Amino acid sequence: MKKLILILALLIPSLFFAQIFAQTSKDINIIIQKTIDLSALKKYYNESEIAGETPIIIINDDKIPNNLIVFKFNKRVKIMTPEEMETFKSIYKGSLDSYFVFEVLEFKNDEVIIKATFRKNEKIAIQVNMKKQDNEWLVTQSSAG
């Protein structure tokens, strides 16, 4: 009986969290794409980023799924852990200041609050609120700067 209770205690929460993650990984992909495409951020991208010469990077942590695929300026955005970023710095000779850190991805029902920063030097604070309507994420409020 104790073994059955232990198995259920471990199985039910893991199934619950797996189901939530499976439902939201596509949503996370969409909201991150919408965040890096915010019109409020347009003035902060420099010429080398727009030309695709400088890679745009998202720092991967527990909020970012490993299979995230987003694009900026017709180039795939690189997803890197902080450790991978350090290794990349030793290889890449250009600027690596063009990266996003998503500090908050807070889902509440059909809404999400995002707080992020862009750049290491001269950080640009980003705040975005989105609401899901008819299976589409809409930006309800955003700011960058």
Which DSSP helix (H) or strand (E) runs through 19? helix 2-36
Q: Above pLDDT 90, what percent of the chain? A: 63
Residue 101 class from Cβ within 10 Å (0-12 exposed, 13-18 middle, 19+ buried)?
A: buried
Does residue 6 belong to any structural domain of this protein? no
Does residue 20 belong to any structural domain of this protein? no
Does residue 81 belong to any structural domain of this protein? yes
- 113-132 exposure pattern, b = at least 16 Cβ within 10 A, e = fewer: ebebbbeeeeeeebbbebeb
User: For position 2, what pLDDT does the model report?
Assistant: 52
Confidence at 20, pLDDT banded by 50, 70, 90: very low
Confidence at 11, pLDDT banded by 50, 70, 90: very low
Confidence at 143, pLDDT banded by 50, 70, 90: very high
pTM equals 0.78
Does residue 125 belong to any structural domain of this protein? yes
Does residue 43 belong to any structural domain of this protein? yes
The domain tally of the chain equals: 1
pLDDT in tens, 34-67: 999 999 999 999 999 999 999 999 999 878 887 8
Does residue 16 belong to any structural domain of this protein? no
The CATH number assigned to the domain holding 95 equals 3.10.450
Question: How many angstroms separate the CA atoms of 96 and 15, rounded?
Answer: 39
User: For position 24, what pLDDT does the model report?
Assistant: 60
| pLDDT above 50 for 95 | yes
CB 70 within 8 A of CB 36: yes
Question: How many angstroms separate the CA atoms of 70 and 24, rounded?
Answer: 15
Question: How many angstroms separate the CA atoms of 126 and 104, rounded?
Answer: 10
Domain with 71, as residue range(s), is 25-144
CB 124 within 8 A of CB 144: yes
Does residue 8 belong to any structural domain of this protein? no
